[in-house]
Amino acid sequence: MCGIIGINSYKPVSSAIINSLKKLEYRGYDSAGIATLSSGLINEIKSEGRVDNLEKNSLVKKMEGTIGIGHVRWATHGIPSSLNAHPHSSQNVSVVHNGIIENSTILKKFLIGKGHKFKSQTDTEVIVHLITEHLKKENIINSIKKTLKLLHGSFALGIIFKDQPDLIIGARRGSPLAVGYGPNENYLGSDSYALKSMTNKITYLNDGEFCVIKKDLVEFFDEKGTKINKKVLELSSENQKYDKGDYKHFMAKEIDEQPMSIKNGIKEYLDTANNDINIFNFPWKIENISSVILIGCGTAYHSCLMAKYWFEELTSLDVSVDIASEFRYRKNRFKKDSLYIFVSQSGETADTYAALDLCNKNGMKTCGVVNVIESSIARDSKFVLPIHCGTEIGVASTKAFLGQMLILYILSLKLGLIRGDINKKKFSQKLKDLKVLPELVSKTLLIDNKIQTTSSTFIEAKGSMFLGRGFSYPIALEGALKLKELSYVHAEGYPAGEMKHGPLALIEEGMPVVVLAPRDNYYKKTISNMQEVIARGAKVLLITNKSKDEIVSENIWETIEVETTNEDLLPFLLTIPLQKLAYYSALKKGYDIDKPRNLAKSVTVE
């Protein structure tokens, strides 16, 4: 998704801006651009495609200027093209923008009426012309204030001005924005990751705030334009040097890192000496909570769905799960005794953040389960449970999914114990099983050849289905999501028991179907559903766990057996072959595995 960088320095900035844009590439984008100020002129260079294309432009190397802004764009208004790429500039001002201006059509009409000429199809260009219009009569700060007032929708902005060789303005409403501090230079960035190679001193803007960035000074203002003081945070050096190592793709590395990331999560939350779970500083009386509402998007939503099964199994709490983009616009009945849990790897997903904001505004108990601890969701949740799985760069979430599930499982166990829904003996046994999970994930990762071979069938087929029941159903959804987002072939996750209510009609000779049938309470039922698809010609890849009991079924195309553990933890192991299936499918198709088309790592627009 779009990313912003701004640098105000005493040194030339173009190569530093390009390097920072490369750090933002993980977010997913379709074009890039840079603008610097030199000899009283705004120079703007933009290109479609990767930042590499921009860098290859010989003019970029020659670009002068000690102040500049850069952007990677993920198209919302207007096709991906160099014309629509940011920055957008008039003679006086140049702007980079993340977010969506919802009233851009009306504003454009108004500006055209005033004689302004538009070059692009973007919503962003109205900001350029509004500022230019206001500058005719007002000073810079008033022009910015008046412009921001007119904008509906969400934005993070970086702005430079033709006559101001020592000024970048940043402004935020709805989309994240951070300021960084360096020696004799200061920075603007859409996330701290872009700034980390230059500084670990960061200030985050809150909604409605704007800032003035000079080479030796940064000032912050609230919505009304009143000067405010803000804290400078020191980011941990952890994750600062995250690279691919010997791996071809971040995704492959991140899949392999899962034993370690699960181990880290367990270390953070398990009190081995006392055989307990540490959840410190929980701000509410657990006895006063009667229901849990889990909210997320995409893969994070799947971990919420998974958690519903655990919460229902291990606690007597009422549990519901919601997709953030649905929750935020529904007529919700907010209940004081509910705990609202927001699950997000990036902590910046616009819909999840909006749902959190809504709950906060209604005085609800909000808890973030988040990987990026400096993120907006982590900062604005009343209580945070970090995932501790380390930086995740691959757009397709892998280790963060296991990390989210781990934290939600741990939370359900702890709440179950405190509320007396499970006894100490059962709790201790589950902790014992949990401690060996990293080892089981390691062993399951060794399954490889069969997944590589079967992946060919999935990419050659018209489409595929992923079936599971109970604990395996959310994993089936996740497996299908991974395959479609990486290999661009249709894949559908379904509850195995629902097939005969419609989707069975899709099954035809040779269609690959993944059936998740671990030896749990649902095993026999799932095997019957598997027979139904085999009988209609499906090529079934059965994924189960190792057992001494033979699989009593014929005509299964392939079987993969993951390690064995208690049924709560099997979803972690079932996920691994599905992640690999998606990875190998995309690899065979030669697709950009870490940056699938049309997708972004941090979805900062709704």
Active site amino acids = 2, 601
The tally of CA atoms less than 13 A away on the side-chain side of residue 134 is 19
Q: Please say which residue, 94 or 346, places its beta carbon nearer to ligand F6R.
A: 346
Report 127-166 residues binding ligand F6R (CB under 6 A): none
Contact indicator for 444, 561 with CB cutoff of 8 Å: no
CB of 542 to ligand F6R, least distance (A): 24
Structure tokens at 174: 């709805």
Q: What residue type is assigned to position 254 of the chain?
A: E
Name the 3-class secondary structure at 73. strand
Q: Please say which residue, 132 or 345, places its beta carbon nearer to ligand F6R.
A: 345
Query: Segment contacting ligand F6R (CB under 6 A): 112-120, 175-183, 345-353, 487-495?
Result: 345-353
54, 442, 468, 524, 592 from 480: Cα distances, Å: 35, 23, 11, 23, 18
Does 349 bind ligand F6R (CB under 6 A)? Our answer is yes
Does 344 bind ligand F6R (CB under 6 A)? Our answer is yes
Report 455-484 residues binding ligand F6R (CB under 6 A): 481
Query: Segment contacting ligand F6R (CB under 6 A): 45-53, 163-171, 172-180, 342-350?
Result: 342-350
Query: Segment contacting ligand F6R (CB under 6 A): 15-23, 293-301, 452-460, 464-472?
Result: 293-301
CB of 401 to ligand F6R, least distance (A): 8
Centre a 10 Å sphere on the Cβ of residue 574 and count the other Cβ atoms it contains. 26
CB neighbour burial string for 306-335, b if at least 16 within 10 angstroms, e if fewer? bbbbbbeebbebebebbbbbebbeeebeee
- Taking CB positions, which residue lies at the least distance from ligand F6R? 298
Q: Please say which residue, 36 or 344, places its beta carbon nearer to ligand F6R.
A: 344
Q: How far apart are CA 573 and CA 326, in angstroms?
A: 30
122, 439, 585, 588, 592 from 86: Cα distances, Å: 9, 47, 34, 34, 23
CB of 186 to ligand F6R, least distance (A): 28
Sign of the torsion angle spanned by Cα atoms 50, 52, 54, 56: negative
CB of 226 to ligand F6R, least distance (A): 33
Does 323 bind ligand F6R (CB under 6 A)? Our answer is no
Structure tokens at 509: 């000779």
Q: Which residues pair with 201 in a beta bridge?
A: 234
Name the 3-class secondary structure at 222. coil
Q: Please say which residue, 377 or 434, places its beta carbon nearer to ligand F6R.
A: 377
Q: How far apart are CA 155 and CA 178, in angstroms?
A: 13
Report 368-427 residues binding ligand F6R (CB under 6 A): 396-397
Q: What residue type is assigned to position 113 of the chain?
A: G
Does 345 bind ligand F6R (CB under 6 A)? Our answer is yes
Does 485 bind ligand F6R (CB under 6 A)? Our answer is yes
Centre a 10 Å sphere on the Cβ of residue 452 and count the other Cβ atoms it contains. 15
The tally of CA atoms less than 13 A away on the side-chain side of residue 182 is 18
Structure tokens at 67: 């102040």
Q: Please say which residue, 5 or 603, places its beta carbon nearer to ligand F6R.
A: 603
Query: Segment contacting ligand F6R (CB under 6 A): 30-38, 49-57, 343-351, 551-559?
Result: 343-351
Phi first, then psi, for residue 324 (nearest 5°) are -55, -40
Question: Which helix (H) or strand (E) is 368 found in, with range?
Answer: strand 365-370
Among 72, 131, 300, 459, binds ligand F6R (CB under 6 A): 300
Pairing of the two strands 227-228 and 218-221: antiparallel
Q: Please say which residue, 587 or 603, places its beta carbon nearer to ligand F6R.
A: 603
Does 306 bind ligand F6R (CB under 6 A)? Our answer is no
Pairing of the two strands 383-386 and 365-370: parallel
Q: Please say which residue, 485 or 520, places its beta carbon nearer to ligand F6R.
A: 485
Query: Segment contacting ligand F6R (CB under 6 A): 161-169, 213-221, 344-352, 566-574?
Result: 344-352
Q: Please say which residue, 485 or 563, places its beta carbon nearer to ligand F6R.
A: 485
- From the list 478, 474, 519, the residue with the least C-alpha distance to 495 is 474
CB of 568 to ligand F6R, least distance (A): 22
CB neighbour burial string for 225-241, b if at least 16 within 10 angstroms, e if fewer? eeeeeeeeeebeeeeee
Query: Segment contacting ligand F6R (CB under 6 A): 93-101, 117-125, 298-306, 328-336?
Result: 298-306
- From the list 254, 552, 578, the residue with the least C-alpha distance to 444 is 578
Phi first, then psi, for residue 318 (nearest 5°) are -75, 135
Contact indicator for 31, 46 with CB cutoff of 8 Å: yes
Q: Please say which residue, 180 or 296, places its beta carbon nearer to ligand F6R.
A: 296
DSSP state of 536: T
Contact indicator for 233, 204 with CB cutoff of 8 Å: yes
Query: Segment contacting ligand F6R (CB under 6 A): 2-10, 262-270, 296-304, 542-550?
Result: 296-304
Report 208-267 residues binding ligand F6R (CB under 6 A): none
CB of 342 to ligand F6R, least distance (A): 9
Q: How far apart are CA 59 and CA 64, in angstroms?
A: 10
Among 346, 381, 455, 585, binds ligand F6R (CB under 6 A): 346
Does 298 bind ligand F6R (CB under 6 A)? Our answer is yes
CB of 486 to ligand F6R, least distance (A): 8
Among 352, 376, 381, 487, binds ligand F6R (CB under 6 A): 352
Give the count of residues interacting with ligand F6R (CB under 6 A). 14
CB of 47 to ligand F6R, least distance (A): 26
Report 564-603 residues binding ligand F6R (CB under 6 A): 603
Query: Segment contacting ligand F6R (CB under 6 A): 208-216, 291-299, 361-369, 445-453?
Result: 291-299
Q: Which residue has the tokens 């998007």?
A: 297
Does 297 bind ligand F6R (CB under 6 A)? Our answer is yes
Q: Please say which residue, 26 or 210, places its beta carbon nearer to ligand F6R.
A: 26
CB of 492 to ligand F6R, least distance (A): 16
The residue ranges that bind ligand F6R (CB under 6 A) are 297-300, 344-346, 349, 352, 396-397, 481, 485, 603
